[in-house]
Amino acid sequence: MVICRNINKTYGEVVALRDINLHVRKGELFGLIGPDGAGKTSLFRILVTLILPDSGQARVNGLDVTTSLKEIRRSVGYMPGRFSLYQDLSVEENLKFFATVFNTSVEANYELIRDIYVQIEPFRKRRAGKLSGGMKQKLALCCALIHSPEILFLDEPTTGVDPVSRVEFWDMLDRLRQRGITIMVSTPYMDEASRCNRIALMRDGRALSVDTPENIRASFSRPLYALRSAGMYALLNDLRGYEGAHSCYAFGDAHHLTLGSEADGAEAELRSWLDRKGYADAQLSRIEPCIEDCFMELARQ
Amino acid sequence: MRQLQSFIIKEFYHILRDSRTLMILLIMPIVQIMLFGYAITTDIKSTPTAVLDHSFNTETARMIEQLQASEYFELYGEVRSIDDVHLLFRQGKIRMAVIVSPTQEVQLLADATNPNEATSLVQYATAIINSSGMQPLAGVNVQLLYNPQLKGAYNFVPGIMGLLLILICAMMTSVGIVREKETGTMEVLLVSPMNPFYIVLAKATPYLLISLVNIATILLLSRYLLGVPMMGSVALVVGLALLYALVALCLGLLISTMVATQQAAMLISGIVLMLPVIMLSGMIFPIENMPWLLRVIAHIVPAKWFITAVKDVMIKGLTAAEIWHELSILTAMVLGLAAFSVKRFKIRL
């Protein structure tokens, strides 16, 4: 459905995208995962024909994004990162307006949005500006879906939304995918990667890795440990000076440490080093890598 | 068509729900007419005037009576010598003096610290004195055409129209379009099958309608409150105003293609559009007196042509055929600006 070949984009001095190669298959829920400034929005804008790439080729639904502007705009649904509805129009008015803009009516495609719309229907007379963050995103999704697009581009739909609504939102995307809609979604939250069929980890305009979340985790080759101790900050600084360490960074309430070698003695060596440094209380446990670990590792290379 | 229709309805929602802005837009012409008509008036009323009469005959007495009777002058007590006159001028007690020699020659003295006022005073007094049967001043028979009472309203009513239409059509349209860019809705609209020019068309429609209401307000107030005559056809004046509103809309569209924020749009329409209307349209300062560079710029200010044409129709009663020059220049401006801004209007971000 979406093919990107060697896409490059710069804004003056700033390089937004470098040699992006992607292939999103039909009926897939594909995630662009990466922090702010990774180039996710630029890539979306190229794919929905809003900006032109400096070089490289992109096709959406078999159509070239630089030449088939009209055809692509007819067949995609797009939800930009910022809340992009009319704040002074009610829920109902927004939906109706976007339905007519796309030459259709709310009734014609109600089936598709029903699951989502019933959740905001009690507030249909309320102005969109007065909705909560989660509600706004649901309304925006309804508006992006109202013309029954073949492929949906959602730019950071869960940013600024509470954790419960985020889970709900991903459930909705799952149901849409089951209906056969191809979805390309971006998010800065690494923990949402597992909700996607395949992901591209992005940083500084590069796609670090494009694969299923499982394969990306499986490709993490180094032994990974979580450490907790009383003096977390001092521990982090000391660990970074540890000879056997490959990388170490703060990760929520623990530090994640990768060791340079898989050798049997490595873990015992680390324990005795911790004792010597005065972290007798340190809790050390071997863990499975999550997507964020993979991202940190890939970003180092 | 259905797209355009629902887009226009949406624009009306925006405007109607922002009731504060709507009130400002509708009340502004009334306030401006009141301000220019009553407060910032350059008209002359009850100017303290001294008369030094050396002739003592009935004709002079009649002339003095007529000066007194007019609303422009108020006679200041008795004056016996030219020294008294100069003293009163210095004390600021009078702003004009009429001196009649024994041979019935009339001399006018005016306080020219405010040159515009002095000129008007002399003109008023000349008109009255000439009509009173005295021998014409300086041997020249002056007759003021079209606006014998030199009412300022004849000049500023077309000026206010020129100002308000630019303000509403250009500023509001450009801000309206840029707002869609700023809030990100433009992105969604562009990524839709809708013709992007519907966006522009839909934005312009409500403001064109508000301008029509404003034109009507201004014309009614000026006719019935300020007593400005409507010598030519009302339809022609309204037509001219619509043509000028189209120029303003195109300017607004052009501005919206150049800026990214509502503030910038407001600033540019304020400085680049409003100032020339006030300073260079001939509304306040005569274009003939400007240095050549400003005179050249004045000729590309649409308001200059609009104001000239409206004055011609309203006050002199000219017909469409007689103002073809202004009409064709404004039409050319519409076409040129529309083509240019359409070319600049980006169908991408």
Return the pLDDT at B282: 79
Q: Output the CA–CA distances (angstroms, integers) from residue B122 to B71, B108, B143, in the order listed.
A: 15, 7, 13
* Same domain assignment for residues A89 and A230: no
- Please give the average per-residue pLDDT across B35-62, as a whole number: 80
> In CATH, what is the architecture of B47-139?
3-Layer(aba) Sandwich (3.40)
CA B74 vs. chain centroid, Å, equals: 29
- Please give the average per-residue pLDDT across A104-118, as a whole number: 90
Q: Which of the listed residues A218, A240, A271 is the one where a domain comes to its end?
A: A218
Whether B137 has a pLDDT exceeding 70, the answer reads no
Task: Select from B184, B190, B347 the Cβ nearest to the Cβ of A82.
Answer: B184
Smallest CA-to-CA distance from A137 within A122, A149, A115, A154 is with: A154
Smallest CA-to-CA distance from B212 within B249, B250, B178 is with: B249
Q: Which residues of B touch A49 (CB under 8 A)?
A: 191, 348
Split into its structural domains, chain A has a count of 2
* Same domain assignment for residues A58 and A131: yes
Query: Nearest CA to CA, how far is A250 from chain B (Å)?
Result: 36
Whether A281 has a pLDDT exceeding 80, the answer reads yes
- Please give the average per-residue pLDDT across A71-81, as a whole number: 91
Top-confidence residue, B236 or A235 = B236
Q: Which of the listed residues A218, A238, A273 is the one where a domain comes to its end?
A: A218
B193 reaches A (C-beta below 8 A): yes
Q: Residues B69, B134: contact at Cβ < 8 Å?
A: no
Q: pLDDT tens for residues A169-180? A: 999 999 999 999
Nearest CA in chain A to B349: A50
* Same domain assignment for residues A167 and A291: no
Whether B139 has a pLDDT exceeding 70, the answer reads no
CB contact under 8 A, A78 and B188: yes
Return the pLDDT at B119: 81
CB contact under 8 A, A100 and B193: no
Q: Which residues of B touch A101 (CB under 8 A)?
A: 3, 6-7, 189, 192-194
Q: Which residues of B touch A102 (CB under 8 A)?
A: 192-194
* Same domain assignment for residues A212 and A228: no
- Please give the average per-residue pLDDT across A30-50, as a whole number: 94
Question: Rounded distance, CA A255 to CA A260, Å?
Answer: 16
B189 reaches A (C-beta below 8 A): yes
Top-confidence residue, B331 or B347 = B331
Q: What is the DSSP letter of B287?
A: G
The H or E element spanning position B85 is helix B82-91
Under 8 Å CB-to-CB from B266, ≥6 apart: which residues? B171, B175
Q: Which residues of B touch A145 (CB under 8 A)?
A: none
Q: pLDDT tens for residues B288-337? A: 888 889 889 889 999 999 999 999 999 888 999 999 999 999 999 999 99
SS3 call for A250: strand
- Please give the average per-residue pLDDT across A38-64, as a whole number: 94
Return the pLDDT at A123: 93
Place of tokens 């304020």: B270
Tell me how far apart the terminal alpha carbons of chain A are, to the nearest angstrom.
Answer: 30
Query: Nearest CA to CA, how far is B199 from chain A (Å)?
Result: 10
What are the residue boundaries of the structural domains of chain B, listed by start? 2-39+151-344, 47-139
* Same domain assignment for residues A132 and A235: no
* Same domain assignment for residues A178 and A290: no
Whether A149 has a pLDDT exceeding 70, the answer reads yes
Top-confidence residue, B58 or B140 = B58
Q: What is the DSSP letter of B166?
A: I
Return the pLDDT at B196: 81
Least confident of A42-51, A210-219, B63-72, B127-136: B127-136
Query: Nearest CA to CA, how far is A88 from chain B (Å)?
Result: 7
Give the predicted TM-score (pTM) of the model: 0.81
* Band (B213; pLDDT cuts 50, 70, 90): very high
Question: Could you say which residues from 56 to 115 on chain A have a Cβ atom under 8 Å away from some Cβ of chain B?
Answer: 69-70, 73-74, 76, 78-89, 93, 96-98, 100-103
Return the pLDDT at A269: 85
Q: Which domain CATH number covers A19?
A: 3.40.50.300
Give the ipTM: 0.86
* Band (B237; pLDDT cuts 50, 70, 90): very high
Smallest CA-to-CA distance from A134 within A160, A153, A108, A114 is with: A160
Q: Which domain holds residue A228?
A: 224-300
- Please give the average per-residue pLDDT across A92-119, as a whole number: 91
Return the pLDDT at B142: 55
Sheet architecture: strand order including A63-64? A14-24, A2-11, A55-60, A63-64
B6 reaches A (C-beta below 8 A): yes
* Band (B2; pLDDT cuts 50, 70, 90): confident
* Same domain assignment for residues A115 and A245: no
Top-confidence residue, B106 or A138 = A138
Interstrand relation of A254-259 and B47-53 (parallel, antiparallel or unpaired):
unpaired
Q: Which domain CATH number covers A269?
A: 3.30.70
CB contact under 8 A, A84 and B3: no
Task: Select from B7, B347, B349 the Cβ nearest to the Cβ of A45.
Answer: B349
* Same domain assignment for residues A96 and A166: yes
Whether B115 has a pLDDT exceeding 90, the answer reads no
Q: Which residues of A touch B10 (CB under 8 A)?
A: 86, 89, 93, 97
Reading the block at residue B74, the tokens are: 């108020």
CB contact under 8 A, B348 and A102: no
Sign of the alpha-carbon torsion through A24, A29, A34, A38: positive
Q: Which residues of A touch B196 (CB under 8 A)?
A: none
Pick the residue of B188, B198, B203, B347 with the most A CBs within 10 A to test the interface with A by mutation.
B188
* Same domain assignment for residues A42 and A108: yes
CA A229 vs. chain centroid, Å, equals: 32
CB contact under 8 A, A97 and B18: no
Q: Output the CA–CA distances (angstroms, integers) from residue A243 to A236, A238, A260, A265, B245, in the order listed.
A: 13, 10, 9, 14, 76
Question: Rounded distance, CA B63 to CA B98, Å?
Answer: 10
User: Could you give the count of Cα atoms lying within 13 Å of B66 in the half-sphere of its Cβ?
Assistant: 18
Reading the block at residue A289, the tokens are: 């890598």
Nearest CA in chain B to A69: B191
Question: Rounded distance, CA A236 to CA A250, Å?
Answer: 7
Q: How many residues does chain B have?
A: 349
Task: Select from A49, A51, A93 the Cβ nearest to the Cβ of B13.
Answer: A93
Under 8 Å CB-to-CB from A135, ≥6 apart: which residues? A119, A120, A123
* Same domain assignment for residues A180 and A80: yes
* Same domain assignment for residues A268 and A133: no
Q: What value does the mean pLDDT of chain B take?
A: 86
Question: Rounded distance, CA A212 to CA A181, Å?
Answer: 18
* Same domain assignment for residues A86 and A166: yes
Query: Nearest CA to CA, how far is A86 from chain B (Å)?
Result: 7
Q: Which of the listed residues A218, A249, A265 is the one where a domain comes to its end?
A: A218
Question: Rounded distance, CA A46 to CA B247, Å?
Answer: 35
Q: Which residues of A touch B14 (CB under 8 A)?
A: 86, 88-89
Task: Select from A49, A79, A86 the Cβ nearest to the Cβ of B348.
Answer: A49
User: Could you give the percent of chain A with pLDDT greater than 90?
Assistant: 62
* Count of CB atoms situated within 10 Å of the CB of A4: 25
Phi, psi of A246 (to 5 degrees): -95, -45
* Band (B141; pLDDT cuts 50, 70, 90): low
Question: Rounded distance, CA A72 to CA B32, Å?
Answer: 50
Pick the residue of B187, B198, B262, B348 with the most A CBs within 10 A to test the interface with A by mutation.
B187
Whether B145 has a pLDDT exceeding 70, the answer reads no
CB contact under 8 A, B349 and A50: yes
Chain pair A-B, CB pairs under 8 angstroms: 77
- Please give the average per-residue pLDDT across B52-75, as a whole number: 85
SS3 call for B41: coil
Return the pLDDT at B40: 67
CA B182 vs. chain centroid, Å, equals: 34
Place of tokens 């073809």: B324
Question: Could you say which residues from 219 to 278 on chain A have a Cβ atom under 8 Å away from some Cβ of chain B?
Answer: none
Query: Nearest CA to CA, how far is A275 from chain B (Å)?
Result: 56
